[in-house]
Amino acid sequence: MRHTRITLVLAAASLTLGGCAALGIGGDEAGESPAAAGEGRQWIVVDQGRATPSPAETVGRPTATPAVSLSAPSPDPSCTRLWPRTEPVMIPVEVTPGSGSLTVEWPTQYDSNYRVTAVLQGVVAGRQPEPVWQDVPAGTGCAVSATITGLTPGAPYIVWLDAPNTGRERDGTRHLYSGRSGVVYPR
């Protein structure tokens, strides 16, 4: 019973993958079989008027897939402050509330410029407003800081930090390297 089931599955796969050619129909000319097209070679048309040979089947060999690893850059040995790291791709941030403002500080990373925003955590009906990002140049010391002003005193905010120039992966996507605070309240 099991052997019959496997045979049926293989036959169905052969018809699915082979299409009309598996049934012996579908040559280049009316009534022409695929074997007769091009003296035993099959052809596909890729450019009008030019026949291109079909790709030949090749058997590959298994290779080990390299493991992906994420690592945070090593801290500058001249910097003595220890920044807690909760996740390997997150930049640790320290937020100090001020009067209608938040001062954000983080360690310098990757010689990248930064952008920072404070996102209000109140409930908003409908579409959420786009955050207003504040650009911050790359730092030269051990830490970089910025102050976000114009915030509502006593309202809950989460600060987001982005380092947009941290490099790209082989496929062109940007390295993800960002940070965020917990909920903070300006005074």
> In the chain, count of helices (H) and strands (E)?
1, 9
CA distance 131 to 65: 39
Strands, DSSP E only, in 9-100?
43-47, 50-53, 94-98
Q: For the chain, what is the mean pLDDT?
A: 75
Of 155-159, 162-166, 179-183, highest mean pLDDT: 155-159
- Residues shown for the chain: 187
What's at 25, amino acid-wise?
Answer: I
| Structure tokens given for 66 | 């390299």
pLDDT tens, residue by residue, 167-186: 778 888 887 778 899 999 99
Q: Which CATH architecture has domain 94-184?
A: Sandwich (2.60)
Using CB atoms within 10 Å of the CB of residue 122, give its burial: 0 to 12 exposed, 13 to 18 middle, 19+ buried: exposed
pLDDT tens, residue by residue, 54-108: 666 666 666 555 444 444 455 567 788 877 766 666 889 999 999 999 999 999 8
Write down the pTM of the prediction.
0.57
Distances 144 to 48, 79, 99, 113, 151 between C-alpha atoms, Å = 60, 13, 21, 10, 21
3-state secondary structure of 120: strand
Average pLDDT over residues 135-148: 92
